[in-house]
């Protein structure tokens, strides 16, 4: 089941699939497509997005436990109340409440936590994730 959360510049989607193989992620301005194979199952999602993204700046990273997608918003600073264009509740999609933040409560401290998260994501996926402002890139890992 994919989980998602919103930030000022990005929308993050995590597909919790252990030992994924043949991962395919295709970004388009108003949708993205995800597919992979796990030990026994095949997964496919074609998601029409709430807002537009920058396909060239959107990236993904695979780990042993999941595939993380980082969608660069085309309109930075505009909140997304939902991931999908369609206003419906889907059983296959959930909000990642552990990472969700209320933008009214954002502070410099919250942004520093975000920088740490983006640095962690960069370390996990290497070249598959965007270079976030303020995050230092470690070479040679």
* pLDDT tens per residue across span 27-70: 999 999 999 999 889 999 999 999 999 999 999 999 999 999 99
Q: Where are the beta strands (DSSP E) in 21-119?
A: 21-27, 31-37, 42-48, 59-62, 67-72, 94-95
pLDDT at position 98: 87
User: 114 Cβ partners below 8 Å, 6+ apart?
Assistant: 7
Reading the block at residue 114, the tokens are 């975000």
pTM over the 0.95 mark: no
Tell me what percent of the chain is helix, strand and coil, each rounded to the nearest 5: 15, 35, 50
Q: Which domains does the chain have, with CATH numbers?
A: 1-78 (2.60.40.790)
Q: What is the pLDDT of residues 67-123, one digit of tens each?
A: 999 999 999 999 999 999 999 888 889 999 888 777 665 544 444 444 555 565 555
């Amino acid at each position: 089941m994919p989980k998602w959360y919103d930030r000022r510049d990005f929308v993050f989607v995590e597909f919790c699939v252990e030992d994924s193989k043949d991962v395919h992620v295709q970004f388009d301005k108003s949708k993205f497509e995800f597919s992979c194979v796990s030990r026994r199952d095949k997964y496919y999602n074609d998601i029409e997005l709430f807002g537009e993204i920058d396909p060239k700046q959107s990236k993904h990273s695979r780990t042993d436990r999941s595939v993380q997608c980082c969608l660069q918003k085309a309109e930075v600073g505009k909140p997304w109340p939902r991931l999908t264009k369609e206003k419906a509740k889907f059983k296959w999609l959930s909000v990642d409440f552990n990472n969700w933040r209320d933008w009214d409560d954002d502070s410099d401290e919250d942004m520093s936590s975000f920088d740490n998260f983006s640095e962690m994501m960069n370390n996990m996926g290497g070249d598959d994730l965007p270079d976030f402002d303020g995050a230092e890139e470690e070479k040679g890992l």
